[in-house]
Amino acid sequence: MSQKIPKKTNGKAKPQGKEEENYILRLFITGILPNSARAIININAICEMYLKDRYELEIIDIYQQPSFAISEKIIAVPVLIKRFPLPEIRLIGDLSDIGSVLKGLHLIN
């Protein structure tokens, strides 16, 4: 299962700056295991609250698409990869620690 969830802006012009950058995220999960389900719920909530209309989230089930896990050198799941804005980062776990996720995404200091 690979699911892209594109988010588009509402057409309003926004000033450019770090807080207005679009984020490209990939979440690697393993089927319907509890940690994977929690990670999906948590990252969707974080994105909607802090990145509304400024993110693309792709959810990849490594059971169904193992080649993605190999190409990304995934060694633990669930793992969230922030591809853009740079630098690329990886957050491992169910993403329930919102403060750590926000720091990892460089949304807070």
Split into its structural domains, the chain has a count of: 1
pLDDT in tens, 7-44: 443 333 333 445 578 999 999 999 989 999 999 999 99
Domain region containing 61: 55-109
Cα separation, 90 vs 45, whole angstroms? 18
> Which residues have a Cβ under 8 Å from the Cβ of 83 and sit 6 or more positions away?
24, 25, 26
Residue 77: inside a domain, yes or no? yes
CA distances in angstroms from 10 to 50, 85, 99, listed in the order given: 16, 21, 27
Model-wide pTM > 0.85 = no
pLDDT in tens, 42-73: 999 999 999 999 999 999 999 999 999 999 99
User: 10 and 53 in contact (C-beta within 8 Å)?
Assistant: yes
Q: What was the pLDDT predicted at 6? A: 45
Residue 5: inside a domain, yes or no? no
What is the β-pairing status of strands 79-84 and 23-29? antiparallel
Residue 1: inside a domain, yes or no? no
